[in-house]
Amino acid sequence: MWYILYMNKDVIYVEPEDDITDIILKIEKSKEKIVALVPPKKAGVFRSVVNIKLIAKSGVTSGKKVVLVTADPSIMRLAGAAKIPVTKNLQTAPTIPEVDTEASETTSKEDLIEESDGTVETEEDVEELEGGDKDKEEAEFKDDEEDDDEDEEDKKPKAKAKPAKKNTGKGKGGLIGWIQNHKKLSIACGIGIVLLILFLVWAFVIAPAVTVTVGVRTDQKPFSQNATFVSAQSEEKAEDGVFYLEEKKVESIQEVEFEATGERNKGQKAKGEIKVYAYFPLNIKASTQIAEGETFTISGLTYRATKSETLSYNGEGKAQCGNKDNSEGLVDYGCRINGTVSVEASEPGTKYNIAASSTGWDTNARVIAYSDSAMTGGTDDIITVVQQADILKAKESLASSNEKENKEKLLEEARKDALVIESSFTQSTGEAISTPGEGEEVKKGEKAKLKAVTTATLYVIDKTKVEEFIRKKTEIDSNQKIYEIKDPFVDNFSKSSSGYIGKLKATCLIGPELSVSSIVEMIAGKGIGDAQHLLKDINGVTEVKINGSYPWVMSVPGDSNRITVNLDIKDQSGNKVEQSNKTETDDKAEQSDENK
């Protein structure tokens, strides 16, 4: 892993006059984790195995990785023995050189002689440099420099051992003598014979294997059966066609914009006064009240009293009566009491500005009304408002706006082993909130908005249980099996007194009763030609191919582990069929093939 950090390194160029102590001090003072040492051309310090080991040791103790940048073979051999990475230049990744152990030891001993000033050659020197602090190492190294002349005597090369004499004796006669006189050739011949035996064992015992491809044609068989669906899982009896309905639900907040079509006059209401009077019997105390909000209508225009008014007679003769002078000839009828009622138009608008009228006024109060002054102050200011019809129309649009999206979301969330009853999909909309509200103004150039929570539901049933029910109820010959159940669905799904009912439909692809294990058992140990005939004679098998692993393989191995079977199952249209009812034996056989 540290090679990745090789770009962040400290490059130290070693000078010819630098000794091992100088190099170790430079390594320890470096601030980088990787230190690249570049030796000079005359690298006497680097030709000593002891010095190389000291450099490796200093890297370990200082927590740094030391790399030598050199192409010198002798330095590379010593670095390899000390497990120090080497690179030929600063741009390439360093590696630890591979060296021959014996050659490395011999070279190391010889390299101990070829040293320049400042090298350390003895194990005692190594121990001195490894112990103590840096000041002590420098002091000891100065002492070593003063004793250089004395140490030169200890650096003389040791005498090399004489090579062993070759055996010049003559071998015995015959085959043994020939073998003794031709040892290399004898060994080669022996190896060749062993290899030949191994090859023959491999070629005729181990290597032979076959791959069998069997083409199968399936026929279609329709399936249709009544089924019942229940909402309680405890009531499920899948083997009898009673399936548990699992409800899938998704809620979402939806919002739609709509055009408001209502209008409202935001202008001022007309106001005025209405004269009223009532007759009371003479000398009898009585009264009548005109309540606030009492309506007065004339020509289809309605005005309301803005405050209550009471007409009362105290029963004390004619003094209080408005007809005391008998000008109307009604003195004998009774006493007339007059009053004035302030009114306001029921709606804004200029159409309520009318002239005075002495006749034509209607009211529910027990009075007679007329006006002797005009109604005035009514103005027009027509605005667009939201009305109930607008909200109902927008709600219908809201309910269907995200229906497709919700249905797709439910289908996606349904379990993979579930059969979706698409006809059971429903979507409902909760209470809708209009902004602005009903009767409120919608500003010019804007649209009203309707927001509501929509709830989409969908029912699913266990697909595995459905397929088991279909296999149980489908009648086929004993030498056939169902390879695939295509597109099962529920038709005519509807609510009943006991839950839901429907018709379960599907298309079954049936063919010969074949499996990987049965084919292996049938052809194991037989000749390839015989095996082909056996398989082709099966009704529904359209093609058989048996390929040997090597040209000399002429029979099917007896070992089932060396027989690979591929079932190529197709429907009548030539489309590949995926088996939906593999047996436990088939699964074990396929697992064995995968292990191989």
- What are the pLDDT digits (tens) for 260-319? 888 889 899 999 999 999 988 888 899 999 999 999 999 999 999 999 999 999 888 777
146 & 8 share domain: yes
The encoded tokens of residue 195 equal: 């290899």
pLDDT score of 225:
92
Specify the pTM. Answer: 0.45
Asked if residue 460 belongs to a domain, the reply is no
Asked if residue 31 belongs to a domain, the reply is yes
* Amino acid identity, position 279: Y
pLDDT of 366 strictly over 70: yes
Higher pLDDT, 172 or 215: 215
Query: What three-state secondary structure class fits 542?
Result: strand
pLDDT score of 370:
94
282 & 150 share domain: no
pLDDT tens-place string over residues 408-433: 888 887 766 789 998 888 888 778 88
How much of the chain exceeds pLDDT 70, in percent?
80
In degrees rounded to 5, what are phi and psi of residue 338?
Answer: -105, 155
The encoded tokens of residue 129 equal: 């440099």
Count CB atoms within 10 A of the CB of residue 52.
26
Asked if residue 310 belongs to a domain, the reply is yes
- Residue in the structure block whose two tokens are 């000078």: 15
Edge-first strand listing for the sheet containing 86-87: 9-13, 34-38, 65-69, 86-87
Alpha carbons 170 and 184: distance in angstroms, whole number = 16
pLDDT score of 208:
79
pLDDT of 575 strictly over 90: no
Asked if residue 477 belongs to a domain, the reply is no
151 & 272 share domain: no
pLDDT of 154 strictly over 60: no
Alpha carbons 509 and 233: distance in angstroms, whole number = 31
pLDDT tens-place string over residues 30-75: 888 898 888 887 777 888 889 888 988 888 888 888 998 888 888 8
CA distance readout (Å), 4 to 7, 10, 91: 7, 15, 12
Final residue in a domain of this structure, among 140, 155, 170: 155
Alpha carbons 513 and 538: distance in angstroms, whole number = 9
Asked if residue 25 belongs to a domain, the reply is yes
For residues 343-357, give the mean pLDDT.
95
Burial class, 96, CB count within 10 angstroms (exposed 0-12 / middle 13-18 / buried 19+)? middle
Which of 135-139, 201-205, 497-501, 507-511 is predicted most confidently?
507-511
pLDDT tens-place string over residues 386-405: 898 888 888 877 766 677 88
Alpha carbons 85 and 93: distance in angstroms, whole number = 9
134 & 277 share domain: no
pLDDT score of 372:
92
Asked if residue 427 belongs to a domain, the reply is no
- Residue in the structure block whose two tokens are 């405890």: 234
- HEC string of 349-379 equals CHHHCCCCCCCCCEECCCCEEECCCCCECCC
pLDDT tens-place string over residues 157-173: 443 444 444 444 444 56
Alpha carbons 13 and 20: distance in angstroms, whole number = 13
277 & 135 share domain: no
For residues 566-582, give the mean pLDDT.
76
pLDDT of 244 strictly over 80: yes
Final residue in a domain of this structure, among 380, 410, 427: 380
How many domains does the chain contain in total?
3
pLDDT score of 375:
95
Quote helix, strand, coil % in the chain, to nearest 5: 30, 35, 35
Q: How confident is the model at residue 346 (pLDDT cuts 50, 70, 90)?
A: very high
Strands (E) located in 55-161: 65-69, 86-87
CA distance readout (Å), 46 to 25, 57, 156: 16, 14, 19
pLDDT tens-place string over residues 516-554: 888 998 888 888 888 888 888 888 888 899 888 778 788
Cα 410 from chain centroid (whole Å): 17
pLDDT of 127 strictly over 60: no
Asked if residue 544 belongs to a domain, the reply is yes
Final residue in a domain of this structure, among 332, 364, 380: 380
Asked if residue 309 belongs to a domain, the reply is yes
Query: What three-state secondary structure class fits 584?
Result: helix
pLDDT of 325 strictly over 70: no
Domain hosting residue 338, numbered range: 267-380
Alpha carbons 432 and 420: distance in angstroms, whole number = 30
